[in-house]
Amino acid sequence: MMSVETEIRFKLNGREVCLKVPATMKTLAMLRERLDLTGTKYACGEGECGACTIEVDGRTINSCLMYAIDCDGRELVTIEGLRTPQGLHPVQQAFVDHGAVQCGFCMPGMIVQARYLIENNPGLTREEAQRGLEGNLCRCTGYTKVLDAVQAVAGKAGCGGHG
Amino acid sequence: MQPKASDSPAVKTTLIGQRVKKPDAPDKATGKTRYINDMVLPQMLIGKVLFAGRPHARIVRIDTTAAARLPGVHAVLTGADAAGLKFGFVRDNVALKDKVRCEHDEVAAVAAETEEIAGRALALIEVEYEDLPGVFTPEAGARNDAPQIHDSFPGNKSLHFEFRHGDLAAAEAASDLIVDNVFRPHHVTHCCMGTSCAIADFDHNGKLTIWTQTQYPYNYKMDLAPALGIGPGDIRVIQPPVGGAFGSKLDVYPYEPIAALLAKRTGRPVKVLYTREEEFRAAPTRQAAIIHMRTGCTRDGVLTFRSADVLLDNGAYTSWGPTIPVIMMRTTSGHYRVPVVDFQAQAIYTNNPYAGSFRGYGNVQTTWATAQQMDMLAEQVDMDPLEFHLKNAQVSGETTPQKSFLRECALVECLQTAADASDYSRKRREYAALRAAPGRYKKGIGLASSIHNAGGAKIHKSDGIGTILKVDDYARVTVITGASEIGQGIDAVITLIVAEELGVPVEHVTIVNNDSDIAPWDVGVHASRTTFIAGNGTRRAACKAKAQILAGAEKLLGEPAAGLALRGGAVVREHDGTEIIKLDRLLRQMHFQAEPELVMVTDYYEPRSEPEGARHVSDHSAAYSHAVHVAEITVDTLTGEIKVDKVTVAQDVGRVINRLGLEGQVEGGLAIGLGYALSEDMRLERGRLKNACFRDYKLITAPEMPPIDMHFIESRCAEGPYGAKGISELPTIVIAPAVANALHNATGVRIFDPPMSPEKVARAIHDQRQQAGAAAPAAQREGATA
């Protein structure tokens, strides 16, 4: 009773990818199970927690809600794509430096979202960061150090790095 | 860059109190870390569980024939496969049930090649149930004619606790004022972002390896073994990185033996991983209770007695939830001078989900009641609550009626610091005066305090830890420790302490703490104990290594060890910092000499605390700590919504070890406490959970998190590492009643059953106005129709 598989091509973290996916498969499952990119996390599967946040064509989405076949022709960036040749992306480094990582399970989604917010609003305020991260749940940190990290990067000119 | 104990050998600086980063943070921030949820083993099968979905029923017939025939299915197990394999605190649980006692009872399990096949197999299992009348409140369960949930527990009676100290009748007679309320702390759940997961695999010698999220790996073996009918010695526990725990992994829950039973049957590794909905339904909860509390005082504000009659909703099985009175009976009177205490608690089995331990263990419920009654009494004797608290606060050297000896007690400092920093007394007077004034939005300020064990809790015969420490030829240090890392940051604390003692960079310290075949005994991450216990163990081991290294220097270089120190990666003269030799060079010389030696030491640390004994009355912790929270809120009197504007925290931490981790624990603990106070609520209707998703079960989100003004009081605990105390539970414990007291300050209403949801607050304000019998001021009526 396996569903029909469809071939899709897309750009993932800067590289071309071609694979066959079932019509029912979600992008989150494709990343984790087909491409072994386990940085993107499952935590609710219904778009309520943000742990599976990735970037698609420059906008962040919950990858648990997006069908894998809809990735065809698009450009995806996951947490694994943020690292630069020099090392951690400035947002990742800021999260480390400011103690924003405890168990860390929600952090890949949180960091992808934080980077998106900063790139689209380099001088964002703490309140804007709070609003922008509202869809990313964290049970460990109380968000305070996450917001400290975002503000530290937002305060600097340009956040650099790819994605 | 990480801070260093000393940048140059000549300068002695300390790492204690600095901000050290978590060593695992870079891999977590880049998605490189493989959590247990991410793990895949060769030949691994996926296990899935069939839940009953009804609260109380007899299983008339179960037919797994069709499921077992489905291609890709390797095993189907039912209650018959776990018969007699009882486990749990009172041996009332089995991995797979022959009778249904709660909605999430596990009636069958499947191991299949994929999750999809496993799911289809579950749908093919036919179960015929005969529903039984249920029990959904402890009051109902205690009735004589209540349906019986367990044959072996007549009257649905589970655990009973009591503690009596002094003459209650005389104390009541001597009281000028008595407050008497019933508090109903509710069901909430941990909501770990990483859902529950276990992977089990048997080798052909019959030894089980289990990859688990457990936070107590050594007693875990003892607790898991009876569920499988094997010996604890035949279990190896591996702890991969986990997505949170918060107390939820302090016991064995059925999915773990289910994974192991499936692995045994199939001869292959089996992984069970919950979906979020399964997590909401089947993971443990915080213990719900009905607390009838009375507190008395004299006209001039001196406490006379406190009594608490507690009924606990045991749920269907007994995990760590119904044992919370062990802590409740202490914290009922623990930090104010209460000469007479009368406590009793009875847990009653119901057909509700059952509770485990949850950060703040029992004290969240107690402090919800005690801190509100302190506020009420202060108002009744017309005192500023701060003054009332100060008048009754315990001080260093006192022993509580429950035999907790307060060696270093900083409650008074905590009270004064939090009140001064928030300008509590002035604001409280002003806000109270504005209560009746027109206007939809009301401001309020509330103060609450509590005590918690801060030097472990000797609930087992041992509260100790084993540590093995080695230093290699390159001056790299490995610490093999029983202390588990569940995100709380003991890794940073251990690297900090080793760096402090051995003068090496924190980056040169590796921790091995995730394999029970390698690391030595520890009780686990609970009771705010790990920095205290593992910190002491690490420090003692590092000091032994230091002594060996300095003795080696004396022997090889002729410098008396007594005058030497380790700083900046070198052996230096203590008094002026002159470098004698690089540490790695010395270590190689020690290793490659005629009488070769390696630096490798062991330590077993057992804190000076007393086992609890049968009545749970003893000096059970090596330290106790206090915290005071002041919450400032704005209440929308129309919608009932509470916005927390600011929280001021003053906590006795003994001494700050890793400031970065400490702040993070306070902030995170407070967020869990705020969720408890304001929004989190498991909506149970006749034993069925109605809101098993994040859409309907509301965690605190980033915009709701208030600014926190944190003050750490350093009481320098004599037994603690460098003077530190355990810290991580108090932030969760104290905040909810601080908000409740602020709500009263703002509006005059009190909520006894958390959460203080908009519906409840709005209704309470409405009822209060009705009772006052006065028409609401015109301005508020306008607001209500706007």
Is residue B393 left, alpha or beta, with left meaning phi > 0 and alpha meaning psi from -120 to 50? beta
Domain ranges of chain A: 5-81, 90-154
Given its phi and psi angles, is residue A47 left (phi above 0), alpha (psi -120 to 50 degrees) or beta? Answer: left
The distance of B259 to chain A (nearest Cα, Å) reads 20
Find the mean pLDDT for residues B671-691.
98
- The answer to whether B316 touches B388, Cβ cutoff 8 Å, is no
Evaluate whether B217 touches B272 at the Cβ level (below 8 Å). Answer: no
Q: What is the pLDDT of residue B782?
A: 43
Q: Of A102, A137, A143, which has the smallest distance from its Cβ to B487's Cβ? A: A102
pLDDT tier at B335 (50, 70, 90 boundaries)? confident
B199: phi then psi, degrees, rounded to nearest 5: -125, 130
Same fold, A5-81 and A90-154: no
The verdict on a CB contact (< 8 Å) between A101 and B660 is no
What per-residue confidence (pLDDT) applies to A159? 42
Residue A156: its pLDDT value, please?
A: 74
- In this structure, the answer to whether residues B341 and B453 fall within a common structural domain is yes
DSSP category for residue B118: H
Asked whether residue B64 carries a pLDDT value surpassing 70, the answer given is yes
B523 in any annotated domain? yes
CB-neighbour burial class of residue B562 (10 A; exposed 0-12, middle 13-18, buried 19+): exposed
In a domain, B193, yes or no: no
- For residues B440 and B638, give the distance between their C-alpha atoms in angstroms, rounded to a whole number: 6
> Does residue B571 contact residue B590 with C-beta atoms inside 8 Å?
no
Q: What is the pLDDT of residues A15-47, one digit of tens each?
A: 999 999 999 999 999 999 999 999 999 999 999
- Final residue before a domain boundary, out of B556, B573, B605: B605
Nearest neighbour of A105 by CB, restricted to B22, B243, B702: B243
Q: What fold characterizes domain A5-81?
A: Ubiquitin-like (UB roll) (3.10.20)
**Interchain CB contact of A64 with B (< 8 Å):** no
pLDDT at B610 over 70: yes
The answer to whether residue A59 scores a pLDDT higher than 60 is yes
Domain contains B140: no
Assessment of whether the complete model's pTM goes beyond 0.90: yes
Q: How far apart are CA B664 and CA B647, in angstroms?
A: 15
Task: Phi first, then psi: give them for residue A21, nearest 5 degrees.
Answer: -130, 150
Is the distance from CB of B188 to CB of B286 less than 8 angstroms?
yes
**Which SS3 state, helix, strand or coil, does residue B529 take?**
coil
A4: phi then psi, degrees, rounded to nearest 5:
-65, 140
pLDDT of residue A160: 41
The one-letter amino acid at B623: A
Choosing among B20, B24, B27, B28, which should be mutated to test the A contact, i.e. which has the most A CBs within 10 A?
A: B28
Per-residue pLDDT tens for B355-369? 999 999 999 999 999
Give CA separation, A81 vs A95, B38, B744, in Å: 16, 18, 50
> Which two tokens mark B211?
């990859």
Judging contacts by C-beta atoms under 8 Å, the chain A residues touching residue B496 are none
Task: Count how many domains chain B has.
Answer: 3
Distance CA B454, CA B716 (A): 12
What is the pLDDT, as a whole number, of residue A110? Answer: 98
CATH of domain A90-154: 1.10.150.120
pLDDT at B469 over 80: yes
pLDDT at B772: 86
The CATH code of the domain that includes B71 is 3.90.1170.50
Does any domain span residue B749?
yes
- Whole-angstrom distance, CA of residue B731 vs CA of residue B628: 9
* CA–CA distance, B520 with B462 (Å, rounded to integer): 13
Cα dihedral across residues A110, A114, A115, A117: positive or negative: positive
Contacts of B153 (CB under 8 A, 6+ apart): B90, B92, B349
Percent of chain B at pLDDT exceeding 90: 95
* Same-domain pairing of B562 and B624: no
Model pLDDT, residue B10: 63
Written as six digits, the tokens of B299 are 């006209």
Query: In this structure, is residue B93 part of a structural domain?
Result: yes
pLDDT surpasses 90 at B101: yes
Residue A23, chain B, CB below 8 Å: the answer is: no
Structural domain for B221, as ranges: 42-132+214-241+249-272
Which of B580, B605, B630 is the last residue before a domain boundary?
Answer: B605
> Which pLDDT score is estimated for B11?
66
Compute the count of residue pairs across chains A and B with CB atoms less than 8 Å apart. Answer: 179
B418 and B473 together in one domain: no
Percent of chain A with pLDDT over 90: 90
B193/A49 Cβ within 8 A: yes
- CATH code, domain carrying B517: 3.30.365.10
Question: Residue A123: what pLDDT?
Answer: 92
Residue B786: pLDDT band by 50, 70, 90 thresholds? very low
**Average pLDDT, rounded, for chain A:** 94
**pLDDT by residue (tens digit) across B621-650?**
999 999 999 999 999 999 999 999 999 999
B254 in Cβ contact with B240 (< 8 Å): no
Instruction: Evaluate whether residue B200 is within a structural domain.
Output: no
The separation between CA B254 and the C-alpha centre of its own chain, rounded to angstroms, equals 20
Nearest to B86 by CA among B97, B100, B102, B77: B97
pLDDT (average), residues B27-31: 98
Buried b (16+ CB within 10 A) or exposed e, B370-391: bbbbbbbbbbbbebbbbebbbb
Q: Is residue B148 part of a domain?
A: no
Residue B517 shares a structural domain with residue B442: no
Q: How far is B664 from chain A (nearest CA, A)?
A: 6
pLDDT at B725 over 80: yes
Residues B433-466 have pLDDT tens digits of: 999 999 999 999 999 999 999 999 998 889 999 9
Asked if residue B576 and residue B690 are part of one domain, the reply reads no
Q: Are residues B625 and B713 in the same domain?
A: yes
- Per-residue pLDDT averaged across B563-589, rounded? 97
By the CB < 8 Å criterion, does A86 face chain B? no
Smallest Cβ–Cβ distance between A137 and the set B31, B699, B703 belongs to: B699
CA distance A123 to chain B (A): 18
Q: Are residues B495 and B430 in the same domain?
A: no
Mean pLDDT of all residues belonging to chain B: 96
Q: How far is A72 from chain B (nearest CA, A)?
A: 24
- At B150-207, the pLDDT tens digits run 999 999 999 999 999 999 999 999 999 999 999 999 999 999 999 999 999 999 999 9
From chain A residues 126-155, the ones with a CB under 8 A of any chain B CB are: 127, 129-131, 133-147
B29 contacts on A by Cβ (under 8 Å): 88, 92-93, 95-96, 101, 104, 107-108, 111
A4/B589 Cα distance (integer angstroms): 67
Q: What is the pLDDT of residue A162?
A: 37
Predicted confidence at residue B13, as pLDDT, reads 81
